[in-house]
Structure 1
């Protein structure tokens, strides 16, 4: 099934209340797919307001499409200090800049709607990738409920920049077969919904903890209370790819002290698991003998 009119506002029923818009869009998703899902892909040029991932920090890690959209923007609504100012300086020189920090949906949605409907090129700029803890969909739903289309432009999330800095992979054969993106319990995550310990307990999972710098000690203490090996490697990468990037490497038993000594309370990505060191992995099958089956000694494909 497809949604016959994904941009139909329905404002007469719910007005401009963002929560009502979110609820209405959610109901429409349950009933039918949006036509654009089958008509457009992530790399296509689209109508509407793009929600662009700014990447982890370094301006060079912004996507080509993201750069093009920023350079052509009249208005850029950005995520404040979560976006490296160098990105704004490099690509947004001709745009009006609005910091979204401290503004709620009731302020942001009309701001973007008015600019777009007034003929301006509007870009909503999120840190990292807006699909990972970006709170982007609620803004997009509220915009589309008002008749303004919106779409995602992917970015490089901080876990990928952190693994590049650590010169390792998040997945390694026989060491880390899975990756979990998660966050610790807090105001927006209940104790029952906190699965950090579950992921670590699986043994072959690289656990990437977002939005948890302030809770490193509490998280590590819970892991120890749950019986996890205190020697499991942990890395904390502060401001991955920014000029002031810092890397702290330790274990479940030691990393909290190092983070507190450094004074970090935010803006760091925590990685737990053997992939942190890149030690102990097995050679993959990709470049083994099995990949050459069916070929002769000279590397040419063999005949039947």
Structure 2
């Protein structure tokens, strides 16, 4: 691809390739392996200590770090990237980013693409990787801690709780990039035993909650909102479907907050699990008990 080429052609070609064959590297490497190419690293939710060991090592060895702007905590950049050239990707399109990373890698520089959270969740990483791969530049993913996990840790609870929440939904509300028919938040919440984690929706909390009420969701359904989970300015706002929209508006938050809907976010209503209950000690003392399965 030349500098004036359209990355969309490369993405289309790679997407077609994905549909017909699995990359052999899938069977040769596992997550966490050190390998050739440009790593797409999840920076985690914000706190520098929540970066993975693999991510830390890659950043400390990097010559060039292309990062997701203010979505990555500046303290993390200062801690691990102060020796490297830093390029903010905000405001840059693929036509600029792909040649930048390709040429740096081709010149023998160690390049890291740093995304916020985990690139697998609303990260738009694959299109960059496909465009680079089409140019002969190998790439790979390095997982990070997503903000929903940081929020649950802040709230001292679990996203799944026995007899309260058997499922977790990662979702986003309708808006400029998601049509109304593709917004399934009301369906997830309506199931009752789902912890619904809303990304990219801080600006639309009030509208989202109004739609939930219109869909029959009880207004007293608990909602916990964690702004900038794990950052120095982290804030927690508790409420319900009926009042959380007004509370968020009053706080003035328009972005960077994780919205958790359901009883699990409050750590309420759960029952003791089988894992550490009587089930774990079934049988008499002369009989070896069966170990819990991965499903428990």
Q: TM-score, normalised by structure 1?
A: 0.93
Task: Please report the RMSD computed on the Cα atoms of aligned residues, expressed in angstroms.
Answer: 1.3
Stretches of structure 2 that go unaligned for 5 or more consecutive residues are: 290-296
Following the alignment from structure 2 to structure 1, what is the Cα–Cα distance between the partners of residues 191 and 245?
A: 22
Following the alignment from structure 1 to structure 2, what is the Cα–Cα distance between the partners of residues 16 and 150?
A: 20
Q: Please say if 1:145 is aligned against 2:148.
A: no
2:250 to 251, 261, 282: 261
1:272 to 261, 264, 267: 261
Q: Please say if 1:159 is aligned against 2:128.
A: no
1:52 partner SS: strand
Following the alignment from structure 1 to structure 2, what is the Cα–Cα distance between the partners of residues 158 and 81?
A: 15
For residue 27 of structure 1, what is the aligned residue in structure 2? 16
| Alpha-carbon shift at residue 293 of structure 1 (Å) | 2.6
Contact 1:80 1:99 in 2 (8 A): yes
Q: TM-score, normalised by structure 2?
A: 0.95
Q: Give the 3 Å change call, closer, same or farther, for CA 58–295 of structure 1 in structure 2.
A: farther
2:83 to 82, 94, 111: 94
For residue 233 of structure 1, what is the aligned residue in structure 2? 222
Contact 1:182 1:209 in 2 (8 A): yes
Mapping of residues 1-304 of structure 1, within 5 Å:
16-294=5-283, 296=285, 301=288
Aligned residues: 288
Q: Give the 3 Å change call, closer, same or farther, for CA 248–118 of structure 1 in structure 2.
A: same
| Alpha-carbon shift at residue 294 of structure 1 (Å) | 4.3
Q: Which moved more, 1:153-162 or 1:281-290?
A: 281-290
Following the alignment from structure 1 to structure 2, what is the Cα–Cα distance between the partners of residues 280 and 294?
A: 29
Following the alignment from structure 2 to structure 1, what is the Cα–Cα distance between the partners of residues 87 and 38?
A: 15
Stretches of structure 1 that go unaligned for 5 or more consecutive residues are: 1-10
Following the alignment from structure 1 to structure 2, what is the Cα–Cα distance between the partners of residues 57 and 43?
A: 20
**What do residues 226-285 of structure 1 show as CA deviations (whole Å, max 9, x unaligned)?**
111001000111000000000000000010111011100001010101112111111111
Q: Give the 3 Å change call, closer, same or farther, for CA 121–291 of structure 1 in structure 2.
A: same
**What do residues 171-228 of structure 1 show as CA deviations (whole Å, max 9, x unaligned)?**
0011100000000001110000000000000000000000000000000000011111
Following the alignment from structure 2 to structure 1, what is the Cα–Cα distance between the partners of residues 131 and 281?
A: 53
For residue 7 of structure 1, what is the aligned residue in structure 2? none
Q: Which moved more, 1:20-29 or 1:288-297?
A: 288-297
Following the alignment from structure 1 to structure 2, what is the Cα–Cα distance between the partners of residues 295 and 110?
A: 67
Following the alignment from structure 1 to structure 2, what is the Cα–Cα distance between the partners of residues 295 and 151?
A: 50
Q: Give the 3 Å change call, closer, same or farther, for CA 290–188 of structure 1 in structure 2.
A: same
Following the alignment from structure 1 to structure 2, what is the Cα–Cα distance between the partners of residues 30 and 154?
A: 23
**What do residues 38-78 of structure 1 show as CA deviations (whole Å, max 9, x unaligned)?**
11000111110000000000000000010000000000000
**What do residues 123-172 of structure 1 show as CA deviations (whole Å, max 9, x unaligned)?**
00000001100000000000000000100000000000000000110000
